[in-house]
Amino acid sequence: MEKLFTNKSILVTGGAGFIGSHLVDRLVQTKAKVTVIDNLITGHRENLKAAEKSGLVNFIQADISLPETISALGTAHYDLIFHLASPASPRGYMDNPIETYTVNSFGTHYLTRYALSTGARFLFASTSEVYGDPLEHPQREEYWGNVNPIGIRACYDVSKRFGEMVLTTTARRFDFDFRLVRIFNTYGPRMDPKDGRVIPNLVLQAISNQPLTVHGDGTQTRSFCYVSDLVEYLLRTMVSLETRGIPINIGHPEEYTMLALAKKVIDLTDSTSEITFTDRPEDDPNRRQPDISRAKKLLGYEPQITLDIGLKKTIDFFKTIAPTMSKIRYK
């Protein structure tokens, strides 16, 4: 499969972010030529340090929700466009709500028009949040979701749904070659330690022997996919002919309560931390688990990294950066 990316010219929006930078690393390994566009609201240029040494990466700091950014691309031709640009953590999109909804709405619109004009194949990184607080479990792609359109998370949930609408509406009118993935919880090295997501929070508390904070009574569930598995899904989805024009759930199907996750983190870090309970955030989904039957059938892949192995790798990363935490700030 990797030969399908060799010498290809590829645009990755949001490529300095957590998932985006891991995707860029993998594309560089295939000898693809990669252009990254990122406004660095929640991404970090440091994430691309290794990839940029290859000489195959061109970085542009810009906001793709602005038409002038797209115009500046001019006649540049990209074979493939991975559209990952967007704050993705609750703190990220709640601190930047307007930037979040504009990149997923206007940004997606402008990029689809650009892809149409150049003939590029397009992949949009949507999210499991389009299902909201689901009434169906596990969530299948056919499920329409249960989203609060005026809630505090709507800037992200609803704008991702808007982005999906842009793609499908465009495809109904034009011959638009797009891929659509709904990403469930993903974790691993390069997660922003201050982005508010559950795994960074719990790991940092555990390695500091501080109380682990669990929202509510800890019975709410999530499923966690290690970032290397997520990147494999993205690559396979992009090159598959069978995934054109349909949503694909990508993630790990194993479901864990937040209380079980906290206990696992304590065990893996040999922490002396205790667990404390706090109020749950507004519109926090009660259960979240992907049905990945479609991905297994069409992509011939399912996650290879267990939660224990992935958490150990993630814990090692946070132990490495913990001494510099005072220098890290959330943008």
Of these residues, 110, 114, 131, 156, which one is catalytic?
156
Residue with tokens 């669990």: 214
159 vs 166: CA distance, rounded Å:
10
Find out whether 291 and 139 touch, Cβ atoms under 8 Å. yes
Which residue type sits at 310? G
Cβ–Cβ < 8 Å for 204, 318: yes
For the CA atoms of 122, 127, 132, 133, the dihedral, rounded to the nearest 10 degrees, stands at 150
Catalytic residue flag (residue 78): no
225-242 burial, b if ≥16 CB within 10 A, otherwise e? bbbbbbbbbbbbbbeeee
Q: Distance of CA 318 to CAs 72, 189, 273, 322, Å?
A: 38, 8, 16, 6
Distance CA 63, CA 253 (A): 34
Instruction: Give Cα 325 to chain centroid, integer Å.
Output: 23
Closest-CA residue to 104 (of 148, 64, 151): 64
**Whole-angstrom Cα Rg for the chain:** 19
Distance CA 236, CA 243 (A): 9
Return the structure tokens found at 18: 């957590």
Which are the catalytic amino acids? 156
